[in-house]
Chain A
Amino acid sequence: MTLIDTADQRDLASSVKRFVSGQAPMSAVRETIKSDAAYDPQVWRRLAQELGLAGLAIPEQYGGAGASWSDLVVALRELGAGLVPSPLLATSVLATGTLLALDDEEARAAWLPRFAEGTAVGALAVSEGTGREWALADSAVTVSDGAVTGTKTAVLNADDADVLLVTTSAGIVLVERDAPGLTITPVDALDLTRGIATVTFDGTPGRVLAGDAAAALESVIDLANLALAAEQAAATKACLDMTTEYAKIRYSFGQPIGIYQGVKHPLANIYTDWALTDAAVRKASESLAEGSETASLDAAVARHLASSGYIEAAKQTMLLHGGIGFTWEHDAHLYYRNAITGNVLLGGPTAQQDRIAATLGV
């Protein structure tokens, strides 16, 4: 199992990194935050089309590049490091992963090509509140005569979506944006870099998709864990780098604060935890790409470590920056908000630990 980037992956990482620093730096992210939009459509168009990220992991027969999930993970890492708002996770991981894992050719043929060219956004409406983030058989959202009724919470990029994939007690249902009885209410959420909405269905027409919904959702959980872990590990490194640079130029008592062990040691701890997490993400990425039987386990391990490590790194970033790190103008709180959100969305800490234990058979 290769745990280091291939030459192609290194090229991809550096072109996404270049794009982020040139076209979507933190100053641009802040402009997006100030606007009403969840992301900058120009940035998304270029990510999707010029860099080809939207269709990277979509098979060639549906207009994608047919690359592996581990390639998309490389891109997610770079975007996660810069907190770049985009519907990539919602569309190209969650919605795409769901359609690929189900067995509904009509839905695939209709939507995957549009996802791949970046002209449609997809969203996975799955959560029904804490502890019910992956509701399916136990879903309170029902389908009767092709009409969906119920409420979904914390739906990523729902407000921008052209199509929603909705988990219900009758399976996974495809609902189009203009369907009657569909209400999407954006949430003024903790994380300023993610678009999150509550979605209600009131007799909304939808089509139950063919395929084994439970099995499909299991593989989407793995993908979600891997994708979030990749973003989080990279954001952790961004926090570490930011704080390390600051410790070199901020002077106290006549010396750069980075000379003091009280600053050095927490940074060394974050580095060590990040190094282990980064390795776990790489392992999970390869496991999923290879279809290894430990894929679920490895993805949950990566997510568990990445979520908790990122919280610690973001918190220490605020603390080690001192007063400036507590101001609105400083980026530290943007990372801290993103860290907390990523820790609890799509299955929180105990859910990950339970998933690890369950896959280990303990």
Chain B
Amino acid sequence: MNYRDMSMAELLALAPPGWGGVLLDGLWLSLQVAGGGYLLGLLIGMAGAAGKLSGGPVTRDLLACYTTVIRAVPELVLILLLYFAVPEALNQLLVMVGQGEVEIGPFAAGIAVIALVQGAYATEVMRGAIRAIPDGQIEAAYSLGMSAAKTFRRITLPAMLPGALPGLSNLWLIATKDTALLAVVGFTELTLAARQAAGATKHHLLFLCAAGVLYLLVSLISNLVFKALEHRATRGMSHG
């Protein structure tokens, strides 16, 4: 293939020999991993915040360990741990109890890493947002005879959203950018796809910049969406 004489449009074309399609496939994979990890991370964060606020002393200490360790160890190291060490340990355990081996692919490992990291940060974001709700509102819900689950769904969740959304939108941006790290274990998300296209065509600057533009678009669009969500969550409050 003679990439040297191709124009920029031909290089970025969706169909091969252009590499645009490969980039978009990478972007789609990145978004899937980021989305899956983010949603799982929100669940972990919700449970973590609940545990930190109303759990017993042991739960609270364990959660403190979790959030501290995850936030101090580089994501790149966590990815290696989850991709190489955890499956190995899991399989040794499975073999010990006489089960077959399982294989954890880069996709699942990627979602797991992002969920774990996001969960640690989301725990702190949500804990802060829930703490900021005046106690009286939750007490009022209980005094009206609402169950704990209903109180959470109808009072705590909507009341904490305005406080939590800025932090959560930041976390989503971190999630999309963290997917790039999966390139080191050979997962062809956007960054690695761009690198492969760059390596094959020798047009390094073009493809890495194109990937950058795609990431930038994702973050700009996400910003707009979260702004709208924030606006909706804070309706009835003064916007100043």
Partners in one complex: no
Which residues of B are at the interface with A, using a C-beta cutoff of 8 A? Answer: none
